[in-house]
Amino acid sequence: MLEHRTFSRQGDDLRCEVPISLPEAVLGDVVEVPTLSGRPKMTVPPETQNGQVFGLRGHGMPRLRGEGKGDLMVLVKVVLPQKLTSEEKRLFEQFARLRMDRTRASLGLR
């Protein structure tokens, strides 16, 4: 059986990977998803984790003995930024300090 560049099949369901940026994963966003019939939009909720899977009902393969279609299972791949500017690096360092302070406070440490 030939493999497709974008989709893999599991019965009536299809699977695909969709890359999203770190800000999209952390803050949430709406992204386009490839399907066999277009590029519908999918909501990525805030704090989405790398490897999380979302289902788009009815965007899979037509059912052989029945009505409707299978689902599209979308695997989210968070793409980390590269070649940070000095400002971006400064902001990530500030974020790291804020997270460390929050972690210490939750553990009762100073």
69-105 confidence digits (pLDDT tens):
999 999 999 999 999 999 999 999 999 988 887 766 6
* pTM score over 0.95: no
59 vs 35: CA distance, rounded Å: 6
- DSSP per residue over 59-76, as a string? -SPBPTTSSSB--EEEEE
pLDDT at 6: 86
pLDDT digits (tens, 9 = 90+) for 7-28: 888 889 999 999 999 999 999 9
pLDDT digits (tens, 9 = 90+) for 27-38: 999 999 999 888
- Number of domains, the chain: 2
110 vs 103: CA distance, rounded Å: 10
Residues 41, 6 share a domain: yes
Closest by alpha carbon to 71, among 19, 23, 5, 9?
9
Residues 97, 73 share a domain: no
Range of the domain at 86: 82-110
51 vs 16: CA distance, rounded Å: 11
